[in-house]
Amino acid sequence: MIAIFKREIQSFFTSPIGYMVIGLFLVLNGLFLWVFKGPFNIFDYGFADLGNFFLLAPWVFLFLVPAITMRSFSEEKKLGTLELLFIKPISLWQTVLGKFLGSFSLTFIAVIPTLLYVYTISQLGVTPGNLDMGMVVGSYFGLLFLMASYTAMGLFASTLSENQIVAFITAMVLCFVMLYGFESLATTMPSGNTMIFVKELGMKAHFESIARGVLDTRDIVYFMSLTLFFLFLTLTQLKYQRR
């Protein structure tokens, strides 16, 4: 598994992909938060907090994570090296985990420079340093759980086709449906337990819950279960293709 993980990281940073993903994530967030006029602009918002960043980041990752994961198994299939993975002295589950950790690590690295936003925002307030750190930490945890789920869905999508563009679009659709699809579906229902149940099937409700600064066990279990479910689907698809 460690060998697969190292191979994934090296492949990202020996090609422009890793640098492009990290750079694009930071540039897009920077432009929307600090330059472009609009609902995400912190200066227009009028409050010194990171709420706009955590509203924007899930949508940016909706495009960037599929761009990272689209090559994971699609490229192996296209180059004919997937069969080599099948005969390596490691289990398929270790292969999947290695690919997952490699892709997730790249997105994690992309988030690290945004910690500078925390310091900047804390200094912009009327009282410097008066920032709700509990909410900030909770939001970052929520973002990490969201990224893990995105990555698992992207890996699964990459097993479905050797065409990386198809894998990218499939992953993006899966991530969008899980992020916002159930939320939209819930709005078509009358208020009640059914609406709440449907809404909580989606990631947005659980992400927003964690972002409030309270780590609820139900939200953590949801994201872990969703991530493991799509990793299991990835493993199942690979076993089917090995036959």
Global pTM value: 0.89
pLDDT at 66: 92
Can you tell me the distance from the alpha carbon of 243 to that of 234, in angstroms, rounded to the nearest whole number?
A: 15
Q: Return the minimum-mean-pLDDT range out of 2-11, 100-109, 160-169, 212-221.
A: 2-11
The confidence score (pLDDT) of residue 86 equals 66
pLDDT band at 124 (very low <50, low <70, confident <90, very high): low
Residue 8, domain extent:
1-242
Q: Which residues of 123-133 are buried (b: 16+ CB within 10 A; e: fewer)?
A: eeeeeeeebee
- Is the pLDDT confidence value at 115 over 80? yes
- Range 200-208 average pLDDT: 88
Question: Which residue has 């994201």 as its token pair?
Answer: 223
- Angle 90-94-99 from CA coordinates, rounded to 5°: 120
**3 neighbors 98 (Cβ within 8 angstroms):** yes
**Residue 220 one-letter amino acid:** I
Domain count, the chain: 1
Quick one: pLDDT at residue 224? 95
The pLDDT score that the predictor gives to residue 150 is 95
Residue 225 has what pLDDT? 95
* Alpha helices for 128-216 (secondary structure H): 133-158, 164-176, 182-187, 193-199, 203-211
- CA dist., res. 91 & res. 73, Å (int): 15
| pLDDT in the model for residue 146 | 93
Mean pLDDT, range 150-171, rounded to an integer? 92
According to DSSP, residue 192 is labeled S
Percent of the chain with pLDDT over 70: 91
Q: What are the φ/ψ torsions at residue 57 (nearest 5 degrees)?
A: -55, -45
Which residues, other chains included, contact 32 with Cβ-Cβ below 8 Å and sequence gap of 6+? 38, 40, 41, 56
Tokens of 126: 């009327």
Q: Are 65 and 106 in contact (CB under 8 A)?
A: no
Confidence of residue 104 (pLDDT cuts 50, 70, 90): very high
Under 8 Å between Cβ of 124 and 202 = no
